[in-house]
Amino acid sequence: MSQQNWMLNAFVYAVLVFILLPILIILPMAFSDTDYLAFPPKGYTLRWFESFFASSRWMGALRFSAEIGLLTALCTTVIGTAACYALVRGAGGLGAVFQGLLIGPIVVPHIALAVALYLFFQQTGLSGTRLGYVLAHTVIALPFVVFTVAAALSQVDPALEDAAMSCGASRVTAFRLVTLPLILPNVISGGLFAFIISFDEPVVAFFLAGIRDKTLPRMMFDDIEQNLTPVIPAIAVLLTLLSIVVLLAGWLLKRAAERKAPAAPSEP
Amino acid sequence: MAAGFFQPEGRRLSKAAVTALMLPFFSVIALVFLWPLLSLLSLSVLEPEPTLAHYQRAIDNPVYARVLWRTLVIALWVSAVSLLLAFPVALLMARSEGPKLAFITACILLPFWSSVLVRTAAWSVLLQRKGLINEGMQGIGLTAEPLKLLYTQGAVVVAMVHVLMPFMVLPIYGALRNIPADYARAAAICGAPPWRGFLHVTLPLALPGVIGGFILVFLTALGYFITPSLLGSPKEMMISTLISQQIREHLDWPFAAALVGLLTLFVTAITLVFSRLFGFDRMLGGRK
Amino acid sequence: MTLTQRGTGIEIRGLRKAFGQVTAIDHLDLDIHPGEFLALLGPSGSGKSTVLMALAGFEPPTGGTIRIDGEDCTHVPPHRRNIGMVFQHYTLFPHMSVLDNVAFPLRMRGVAKEERRARAAAALETVRLGAFGDRLPKQLSGGQQQRVAIARAIVYNPRVLLMDEPLSALDKNLREEMQIEIKRLQESLGITVVFVTHDQGEALTMADRVAILQSGRLQQISPARELYERPANLFAAGFIGEMNQLNARYDGARAHFSDGTSLAVPQTALVAPVPPGPATLTIRPERVRPVAPGSGDLQGVVRDVIYSGAGTLIIAELPGGTEFRARISSAGIAPPAAGAPLGFALPPEGLLLYPAAA
């Protein structure tokens, strides 16, 4: 028994090393004083960070990706929350259709969607535009936001809204003051998720990129394919820091929500 | 079909309100998903006249048929290796709690939070001729000459497993976690030694999660684009790279559309069969 | 194929189980006779389930020994114990047919397919579910699933059958029916049964002997009648059924109450020797006889009269504020009104005296 457990533990930790290894190896290379990627890093320099921040191409891509990510997060949370709410409080019967449509963007390969959108955007002049990216990323991220919001909405007792309305609140007020605060943590984490998906989306970006505006993943793709300088690890370090900040924010948010929950009745 | 989360409850909204709230969702899906996909697929059968010739070509031409076959084989390899690695992880997670569970979960979820491109770049560094793995193997005397690791089928499989394996862990973990501890006890008291109890009771009960994870990884691997493009050579071309090549180099839209059609139809068919058998919730690691 | 077997005895010596700082079982000694139906009764957290887990082998004990049929089983893994067990939530394997579930223990013992099907069918017949073998567990009702679980537990003629609150998930009528059925089955098989429950009625109805546990310690082990009529200590007296408890001072012959009255204590009231000093005099409500005010052994004022069909419960308050209950047959004279004074006669054969609780 204990020997089996020992073997299981050893195997799992080996798998975890496999999972972590590439990430742990690429980060130190950002500080390597060589023009190619070297491990262990030779020398120590911050010049790859400098060249990232000094390059107008990289900075432009960063700003472009951030804008698209924020807009995608906004679109998906608004559209997703509205649809979830309508479904949960609707007449029923649409659930199966809705779920079928929702599964679509998850199972249809991104390459298929990317090629289809490439064609569609060329015909409509949306290629390489901010709107084109936001629409494409909204479709890709929407299912994840909907599942996150629906999970919270299914936990909200519908009688709470009835109670609010019996106190004189309108339907809209009841949603705004009762239901929305209860599902807000999930709506926000759904939005974070959508931002990350958009910010890290390489396939659609590969096909939709215009000459001028490129997203960060598209720039990275080109750099990896062509010369692979330590700018890539430097970006990896920055993205990792960003992920840590986002994860930490999400965790704090969750904790705040948990702390708020039991004391809910006393606070206005 | 179990609609799970989407059971209506509470006071009903008016039809007009439901329509207004649903409209953005359905328009986005219809305009930016269904319409572009259908109009692309229509190219494959209508260009230049109603025909199935483009599909015929994809299957009959040995060069393309080999790409399709290789795509299937690589996707199966990736799913199989992922299963082999993911199942023990999910099992240990289901048997752990507290900080240990949190640590394993964090390690498994970490890749979700780090760029696919960054990890692909990491693999290309690890696997290059003077990379860490070659130098390590020469260092301990395993090989005399540096091996060619990058731009091989093995590199593609390893890197794809690395990206997709976490998607396998979560549904299996969900399924294992949902099996009450009493089932293993009941098997033991019936006389089953641990391995037989596992084989006859735990494994069959976890099977929907295992199949769900397997299919999720398999479908994603089939259409995977980034990793094969960056770590494989033309000799390891998969369908997604072929599609890209047809569009960007040959501008052969009808043929590319037929390839997209083959891929999409295949993926949709597998999804429909699976959801008939087990339900979507299971595939996504949902808890029933 | 018949299912006859002789149960074996179990000997528990100095059993101890600690979860970190918490002691779940504290030096428990228990002898279970061959062919006996023993109920482990106690409030939740009393350690009764932990005893069962140790008997099954799921929870290795911290100390002590468990002998089954004279053989030391303390550290034998569950699958080599040859014990049958029925779980609280049945725990039938959902992916196997009813027949496959019942045949599972035989399959694990390498019994050939034909024989194990025949024996599983016979076991299903024993629990009157012979026609249900092809169904899946979820197609059966709760009571039927429970009977399948019993069939699976007895199919390989185990030495001992453990049951962990097996009836708690059933509704009341079904529960009473199953109590009789399990008891009948146990008698016809002659198997040793250890039955964990928190329902005292269930324990008294089914068991040959009842062991009462509290805080991981054995309080009393005796036949049902003795447990009810002559509880070994104040905990057992209060835990089983209703019991009036009166604080008194015992002088070796009489119990003196705080209001100055006293009552002769017969020798039969002493289950165990009681030293002179603070004591608790107890009597079951159905033993108390209400009498005219001013006569009888105690005086009180009626607070509530609760009619419940066959019987009527009178709740009165004694001078010191102590609550006192009497149960009388509803068929008798009209009960007194609330607020009326009332006397109570305490028949000497109904009295029991214990040292006062520490």
* Residue C6 pLDDT grade (very low, low, confident, very high; cuts 50, 70, 90): low
* DSSP 8-class letter at C47: S
Instruction: Answer whether C89 sits within 8 Å of B196, measured CB to CB.
Output: no
- Please list every residue in chain B whose beta carbon sits closer than 8 Å to the beta carbon of residue A112: 37, 40, 223, 260, 263-264
With CA atoms as reference, the chain C residue closest to B196 would be C108
Instruction: Answer whether A96 sits within 8 Å of B1, measured CB to CB.
Output: yes
Which candidate from B189, B200, B204 shows the least CB-CB separation from C85? Answer: B189
**Other beta carbons less than 10 A from residue B147's beta carbon:** 16
Q: Give the pair of three-digit tokens for residue B150.
A: 């990058």
* Fold of the domain built from segment(s) A58-228: MetI-like fold (1.10.3720)
Q: Give the pair of three-digit tokens for residue B96.
A: 């752990």
Q: Which chains touch B (3 or more CB pairs under 8 A)?
A: A, C
Name which CATH class applies to C10-229. alpha beta
Interchain CB contact of C105 with B (< 8 Å)? yes
Q: Pick the closest to residue C149 from C101, C106, C196, C100 (CA basis).
A: C101
Task: Output the pLDDT for position B249.
Answer: 87
Instruction: Answer whether B264 sits within 8 Å of A109, measured CB to CB.
Output: yes
Backbone angles phi, psi at C44, to 5 degrees: -65, 140
User: Residues of C numbered 118-157 whose beta carbons fall under 8 angstroms of chain B's beta carbons: which are they?
Assistant: 152, 156
Reply yes or no: is the peptide bond before residue C347 cis, omega within 30 of 0.
no
Q: Is the pLDDT confidence value at A265 over 60?
A: no
pLDDT higher at C151 or A92: C151
| Domain C242-355 CATH (choose: 2.130.10.10, 2.40.50.140, 1.10.10.10, 3.40.50.1220) | 2.40.50.140
The residue among B189, B198, B200 with the most chain C CBs within 10 A of its CB, best to mutate, is B189
Answer whether C10's CB lies under 8 Å from C192's CB. Answer: yes
Instruction: Answer whether B189 sits within 8 Å of C109, measured CB to CB.
Output: no
d(CA C262, CA B131): 98
d(CA A106, CA B163): 16
Which candidate from B191, B204, B205 shows the least CB-CB separation from C79? Answer: B191
Answer whether B35's CB lies under 8 Å from A116's CB. Answer: no
Q: Pick the closest to residue C200 from C186, C216, C219 (CA basis).
A: C219
Interchain CB contact of B111 with A (< 8 Å)? yes
- Please list every residue in chain B whose beta carbon sits closer than 8 Å to the beta carbon of residue C152: 190
Burial class of residue C295 in the structure, from the number of CB atoms within 10 Å of its CB (0-12 exposed, 13-18 middle, 19+ buried): exposed
Answer whether A149's CB lies under 8 Å from A73's CB. Answer: no
Q: Pick the closest to residue A135 from A208, A85, A202, A189 (CA basis).
A: A208
Answer whether C66's CB lies under 8 Å from C55's CB. Answer: yes
Instruction: Answer whether B9 sits within 8 Å of A88, measured CB to CB.
Output: yes
Compute mean pLDDT per 10 residues along chain B, 288 residues long, and list them: 55 81 92 94 86 87 92 95 96 90 88 81 82 78 77 88 91 91 92 92 91 91 90 85 89 92 92 78 46
**Other beta carbons less than 10 A from residue B100's beta carbon:** 13
Q: Which amino acid is at C233?
A: N
What's the pTM value of the predicted model, to 2 decimals?
Answer: 0.81
Which candidate from A22, A84, A136 shows the least CB-CB separation from B123? Answer: A22
The residue among B178, B179, B185, B190 with the most chain C CBs within 10 A of its CB, best to mutate, is B190
With CA atoms as reference, the chain C residue closest to B208 would be C95
Q: Which chains touch A (3 or more CB pairs under 8 A)?
A: B
Domains of chain B and CATH, by start: 72-283 (1.10.3720.10)
For chain C, give every residue range classified as CATH 2.40.50.140. Answer: 242-355
Instruction: Answer whether B191 sits within 8 Å of C95, measured CB to CB.
Output: no
Residue C341 forms beta bridges with which residues? C301
Task: Output the pLDDT for position A264.
Answer: 40
Q: Which amino acid is at B137?
A: M
pLDDT tens digits, residue range C305-342?
998 888 899 999 998 888 999 998 888 667 788 889 99
User: Residues of B numbered 258-277 whose beta carbons fall under 8 angstroms of chain A's beta carbons: which are they?
Assistant: 260, 263-264, 267-268, 271, 275
Interchain CB contact of C60 with B (< 8 Å)? no
Contacts of C322 (CB under 8 A, 6+ apart): C246, C247
Q: Is the pLDDT confidence value at C162 over 60?
A: yes
Distances (CA, A) of C265 to C180, C248, C283, C296, C318: 39, 11, 12, 15, 20
Task: Output the pLDDT for position A12.
Answer: 95
pLDDT higher at A67 or C19: A67
Task: Output the pLDDT for position C92.
Answer: 93
Q: What is the mean pLDDT of residues C120-142?
A: 92
d(CA C140, CA C97): 11
* Residue C4 pLDDT grade (very low, low, confident, very high; cuts 50, 70, 90): very low
Q: Is the pLDDT confidence value at A253 over 80?
A: no
Arithmetic mean of pLDDT over chain C: 89
Which candidate from A23, A110, A135 shows the least CB-CB separation from B223? Answer: A110
d(CA A28, CA A37): 10
Task: Output the pLDDT for position C8.
Answer: 87
pLDDT tens digits, residue range A3-34?
678 899 999 999 999 998 888 888 888 888 88
Beta strands in C150-239 (DSSP E): 160-164, 192-197, 209-214, 217-223
Query: What is the rounded radius of gyration, in angstroms, for the C-alpha atoms of chain B?
Result: 23
- Please list every residue in chain B whose beta carbon sits closer than 8 Å to the beta carbon of residue A171: 13, 17
- Do the interacting molecules here have an ipTM over 0.95? no
The domain segmentation of chain A, as residue ranges, is 58-228
Task: Output the pLDDT for position B286.
Answer: 43
Q: Pick the closest to residue C166 from B101, B186, A254 (CA basis).
A: B186
With CA atoms as reference, the chain B residue closest to A151 would be B5
Task: Output the pLDDT for position A128.
Answer: 81
The CA distance from B199 to the nearest CA of chain A, in Å, is 15
Q: Give the pair of three-digit tokens for residue A219.
A: 């720039």
Task: Output the pLDDT for position B47.
Answer: 78
